Amino acid sequence: MTNLRAAATAGLAALTVAVPQPALAAPQRPNTYVVSREPGVLPEGIAVTRDGTMYVTSVGTGAVYRGDTRERVMRPFLPAGSDGRTHAAGVHVDRLGRLFIAGYDTATLFVHAPDGRLLAKRVAAAGAALNDLVITDDAVYVTDSTSGVLWRAAIDGGEVGDLTPWITPAAFPAAPGFLNGIVATADGRVALVADQGTGEPGTERLWRVDLRDRTVTAVEVTGGQMGADGLLLDGDRLYGVVNFPDGRGGWSFAVNLAVLDPDRRTARVVRQSHPAGLEQSPTTLARDADRLLWVNSQLNAATPTPPFTVTQVPGLR
């Protein structure tokens, strides 16, 4: 879920660092998807599988929508409010096809089978705001925007354990402000966690979390900010949906692309997408083969108005 954070973005357009691009995929896919035409949906999280199945959550109602990236219109998959899921934020799909859904202020992690059956509900502490998550081979880690805790539930085959506070605020070099997006390296050893800060310019951070040693250090970020909402890790490339003042009294949203060092201790922002405004308020992103898609939440729009959509990120792949 987006929390408006200020940060400097000057100088990005002048950078000319070459960034490798993924191979092209099949054409003829829409660049705009209709998640819902119902009022109050406010889409938030997105997951796209290798076969092009797309899931989008609703932070407004808790519904989850499913579609195909070759088709323009998505359809309801998990009804609003079902299983106590009145709000839904981050969503990811594991290698078994199970959906893991962060229930935001329901303080609950929901796990569903590919056919939609509820497999597990794991509850954090009362008042937790479970925002985003990442799945490794042996666990799922969930950010809590309210308390600054990183929660963990062990995964053993088909079993999902209880949520436990794995990293507490005391482990951070500075008190976390608003933990949000999270990604992990392929070996499951290191997580990168976006902190959107307190709202004051310069308070946003990107944290490097050693998930085994349970230690936290700040990533040295240059060339821009990575205190993002949603994050996407692709090898040594880190994408993040960021927001910043537009210079006219409003806010803009864009995707920043940073190149990481091999140990994930430094991040250099090298490119930025074309911006979107408050009327879109993009929250997070996912890769669909050769392109990026982001969710137009309308969370900060003056009057959120259907249809609610997912669109291709402009000017960046």
In this structure, of 52-66, 83-97, 118-132, 245-259, the range with the lowest mean pLDDT score is 245-259
d(CA 288, CA 22): 10
Q: What's the pTM value of the predicted model, to 2 decimals?
A: 0.92
Question: Is residue 53 pLDDT above 60, yes or no?
Answer: yes
pLDDT value of position 198:
82
Question: Is residue 5 pLDDT above 50, yes or no?
Answer: no
Which residues have a Cβ under 8 Å from the Cβ of 213 and sit 6 or more positions away? none
Residues 69-78, mean pLDDT to the nearest whole number: 98
pLDDT digits (tens, 9 = 90+) for 262-278: 999 999 999 999 999 99
Residues 89-97, mean pLDDT to the nearest whole number: 97
Question: Is residue 200 pLDDT above 90, yes or no?
Answer: no
CB 37 within 8 Å of CB 286:
no
Paired residues of 256 in beta bridges: 240, 272
d(CA 187, CA 279): 38
Question: Is residue 47 pLDDT above 70, yes or no?
Answer: yes
CATH superfamily, with its number, for domain 71-276: YVTN repeat-like/Quinoprotein amine dehydrogenase (2.130.10.10)
Token representation of residue 106: 């329901």
pLDDT value of position 11:
30
d(CA 186, CA 20): 19
d(CA 274, CA 135): 30
Q: What angle do CA 160, 164, 168 make, to 5 degrees?
A: 145
CB 3 within 8 Å of CB 145:
yes
pLDDT digits (tens, 9 = 90+) for 132-190: 999 999 999 999 999 999 999 999 988 999 999 999 999 999 999 999 999 999 999 99
d(CA 25, CA 16): 25
pLDDT value of position 157:
86
